A and B are shown apart, each in its own frame.
Chain A
Amino acid sequence: MTPSPKPIHQASQGELSNIASTRRNTIRREKLLGSLSLLLLVLATLRLATACAGIARPEGWAGPTLAGDRLVASIGRGEMAAVDIEDSGGRVVWRFPLKGQKHPSGSKILPVAIYSTPQVAAETVFFGAYDGWLYALDLATGDIRWQAETGGPIVGSAVVQDGVVYVGSDDGKLYAFDAETGSLRWLFKSGDSIWSIPLAADGVIYVAPMDKKVYALDAASGAEKWRFQADGGLASTPVLADGTLLVGGIDRRLYALDAASGAEKWHFKADNWFWTRPLVLGDSVYAGCLDGKVYALALNDGSPKWEKPFDTGAPVRAAPLLLDDVLLVANRKGKLFGLDPETGQAIWGPTELLRTVLADPLAQGDMAYVSVQGGKLFTVNKDGSTALLVLTELGG
C-alpha cells in the first residue's frame, strides 16, 4: 500500500481575503514610511539651507563712552545701558529699551543693532540705532527725552556740538537736530548712504558718505562750503589735525585734505579698505586697515614712518588707541597688540579675547574698555592683561 498523498490545503475565500488585506496594509505602510522619510529629509534640507543662506543679520559694533563714573555702552544686541563702574565690575543702572516703551507713532521700540557709539552732553545720552531712530536719553534714569526718525538705518555715531546733534543715515542724509528738543534744524542730502561719523570743528561739519565725496558744510545752515571727489565710497570717520583732514575710503586710500579748501595734500594706498578712524599723535598718523595692517605715516606728506607696517593677521576696523606710551591695536579676530608708536614693534601680544572686535575702544588713563560683538566688555591694561567686566543688575 502506498501512502495516500497529503491533501493540498485549499485556502478559503476568507483566508485569501485576509492575505490580500495584509499585503495591501504592508504596501500602504511602506508607502507611508517612504513618504515620511522623504518629508523628514526635505524638512532637514530646508532647515539646513535656511541656516546657510539666510539673510545677514546686523549685530552692531557700538563702542563705550564714559560720563563721570558712569560707562554708557551697548551691552547686548540692541540694548544700551548705563553702568556704574566698580573695582571688579559694573552695576547696571538702567537699560534701554524697556518693555512697553514706544515710538511717538505708538509702535513698540524693539531692540535692534546699535553701531552708534553713544555721545553724552548736557546729562543726555545720544545714539542712533539700526531702526533709523535717534534717541536722546536721560543719563541718570535712561528715560527718553526725545526721539527722532531718519529715513534709514543709522550706522555712524551722532556728534553733539553747540546744542546741535548731527547724525548721518543710510538714507544719504545728514540731519541736524536741536539737542534740547529734537526738532530738525536742517538736513543735507548726499548721494549715498552715510555710515561714517560726522566731524564738527570750528563751525564746519565734515561728512564722508559712500557717494565717494567729502563734504564740508556750514554748521549753522548746512550750506555746502566745498566737496572733494574720491575714487571710492567713504566709510571712515574724518579726523582733523593741524588744518589737515584725514579720511579713509573703500578705494584703499587714506586721503589727507586741506581742511579750508578741500584740496588733496596727499594720499596713501594700502592693500584693502580704510574703515578705521585714524589716530594722530604729533606729526604721525596711525591708521588700521582691513588688510590687517596698521600703518604709521607722516602727517605732512604721508610717507611711511615705520620700517614696515605692523601686520595683525586679520582686518582692523577698531581705531588704534594710545595707552600711556603703548599703541593699542585690536583686529577683527579679537587679537590685541601693544605696539611701540616709534618703531611699530610689538611690545606685547597677541592677547586673545576670542571674540570679534569691531568697535572703537575707549581709553581711561592707562587702561582701555574694549567692546566685543555680543555686547560683552573687557578691560585691557597697558601691559596687555585683560579682564571681563562683570556686570550686575541694580538691586542684584
Chain B
Amino acid sequence: MPLWDPVFINPITNALIILNNIVLGNFGVAIILFTLLMRLLTMPLTARQIRASRAMSTLQPKIQELQKKYKDPKRRQEETMKLYREAGANPLGCILPMLVQFPIWISLYSALRITVGGTPESFIGLSQRLYPWGYIEQALPLKTTFLWMNLGQPDTTLILAFIVFASTYVQQRLATPPTTDPRTQSTNQMMLWMMPLMFAFFTLQVPSGLGVYWAVSNIVGVIMYYFIYGPEQLNWRTILMPPSAAPAGQQASRRGGQSPKEKESAEEPVEAALPTGGRNKKRSNHARSRGKRKDRR
C-alpha cells in the first residue's frame, strides 16, 4: 500500500524519535510516553467500545429468551435485530472502535521494529523514513538499552513476558462481557487464557520495545476499566475467578452491569440504562450480598 508508510508508519517513527529527544535520549521512556499518548488519543474510541460491549451484555437475557421462543433462525435473527434497534444497541459498536485502532497498532509495531531494529540494514531502512530535520537526525543512533533490556532484541529473562501475560489476562478478564450462552462461555474461557499466552509468546519473539508497549498499553487499559466500571470490578475475586455460568442478570450485576431496578427498565434504550458512577456505587452492595449468597450456596 503506497499510502500506508507516509500516512501511518513514518509519522509514528518520527514521533518516537522526537519523544526520545524530549526524554533526553531514553528510548524506553519514549515508548512508554508514546503509548500513553496513543491511549489518550484513542480513549473516546476505547470508552465507546467498552460501553457498547456492556450494552450488549445487558441484552443477553432477552436474547436468550428470543432464542428459546423462536426456532426459525431467520425469524430469530429478525427479532434479535429488532431488539437491538429498540434498545439502541449496535453489535458493531464493539468491533468498529477496535477496527479503527488496528492501523495505529500495526503501524506502531512496524515503527518500533524500524527504530530499534539495531542492524545496519534496518538502519539504512530508517534513513528512508525520517523527516529531514536536524533535530531528529541528532538522536541517531538511538540508545536501545532500557532497564535490563535491549529494546531491539527479545527479552530472554522472561520478566517482560510474564508482565505482558499478567496484564493481558487482567485486561482480557475485565473486557470479557458476561454471557449465558454455553458456547460463548467456552470461547470466552479459552480466549481468556489464549490471548495472554499468545502475547507472552510474542514477547519472547519480537523486540522487547514491543513488549514494553503491550505491557504499558494493558496497564492503561485496566486503569480505564477502573474509571469506567468503578472500583468494585478491580477486586481479586473478579479478576481471578473464571467467568461463571450464572444467570445473565446476576452476571451483569457482578460485572457492574444492571441492578434489578435497571433490569426493570431494560425496555428503555440501553444507552439510557447504562449505569453512572453513582449507580455503580448503589449497586455494589446489592451485588456483593448476592455474590455472598451464591458463595454460601
Chain A contact residues, CB within 8 Å of chain B: 27, 30-31, 34-35, 38-39, 42, 45-46, 49-50, 52-59, 61, 113, 115, 155, 192-193, 195, 210, 231-233, 235, 250-252, 271-273, 275, 290, 315, 317, 332, 358
Contacts and interface: CB of A to CB of B under 8 A. Distances in A.
Interface in B107-141: 109-110, 113, 117-124, 127-128, 132, 134, 137-138, 140-141
Given A54-B206, A56-B113, A251-B134, A38 B154 contact: no
Nearest to B118: A56
Given A30-B183, A231-B137, 9 more contacts: A46-B201, A56-B152, A61-B120, A231-B138, A233-B141, A252-B137, A290-B124, A317-B124, A358-B121
A31 to B, nearest CB: 6
A54 B194 CA distance: 20
A374 to B, nearest CB: 12
Contacts of A30: 183
Nearest to B184: A34
A251 B132 CA distance: 9
A232 B154 contact: no
A193 to B, nearest CB: 6
Interface string B193-209: 01000100110011100
A115 B121 CA distance: 10
Contacts of B120: 58, 61, 115, 155, 195
Interface residues of B, number: 36
A113 B210 CA distance: 24
A39 to B, nearest CB: 7
Contact of B194 (A27, A42, A113, A195): A42
A243 B152 CA distance: 40
Contacts of A46: 198, 201-202
A231 B207 contact: no
Contacts of A273: 127
A232 B132 contact: no
Given A56-B118, A193-B141, A251-B134, A315 B128 contact: yes
Which of B113, B117, B120, B201 has most chain A Cβ within 10 Å?
B120
Contacts of B218: none
Interface of B: 109-110, 113, 117-124, 127-128, 132, 134, 137-138, 140-141, 152-154, 182-183, 186-187, 190-191, 194, 198, 201-202, 205-207, 210
A34 B183 contact: yes
A49 B106 CA distance: 10
B121 A58 contact: yes
Contacts of A50: 202, 205-206
Given A192-B141, A251-B137, A53 B124 contact: no
13 contacts: A54-B206, A55-B117, A55-B207, A56-B121, A56-B152, A58-B120, A58-B121, A210-B141, A232-B140, A250-B140, A251-B137, A290-B124, A315-B124
Contact of B140 (A39, A57, A58, A233): A233
Contacts of B117: 55-56
Contacts of B207: 55
A38 B124 contact: no
A193 B194 CA distance: 41
B117 to A, nearest CB: 4
Chain A interface helix/strand/loop/mixed: loop
5 interchain residue pairs of minimum CB distance: A56-B117, A56-B122, A58-B119, A290-B127, A53-B206
A396 to B, nearest CB: 32
A290 B128 contact: yes
A45 B140 CA distance: 33
B288 to A, nearest CB: 33
B194 to A, nearest CB: 5
B124 A332 contact: yes
Contacts of A45: 198
B135 to A, nearest CB: 11
A356 B255 CA distance: 56
A39 B127 CA distance: 40
Contacts of B128: 272, 290, 315
A159 B11 CA distance: 40
B210 A53 contact: yes
A115 B297 CA distance: 70
A275 B127 CA distance: 10
Given A35-B190, A38-B187, A271-B132, A55 B138 contact: no
Contacts of A210: 140-141
A332 B125 CA distance: 11
B44 to A, nearest CB: 27
A232 B137 CA distance: 7
Which of A50, A59, A273, A315 has most chain B Cβ within 10 Å?
A273
Nearest to B120: A155
A59 B153 CA distance: 16
A232 B120 CA distance: 16
B206 A55 contact: yes
A210 B120 CA distance: 12
Contacts of B210: 53
A39 B194 contact: yes
A294 B154 CA distance: 38
Contacts of A332: 124
B17 to A, nearest CB: 12
A275 to B, nearest CB: 7
Nearest to A32: B186
A232 B205 contact: no
Contacts of A53: 109-110, 113, 202, 205-206, 210
Contacts of B138: 231-232, 251
Contacts of A59: 119, 121
A55 B190 contact: no
Contact of A252 (B124, B132, B194): B132
B119 A56 contact: yes
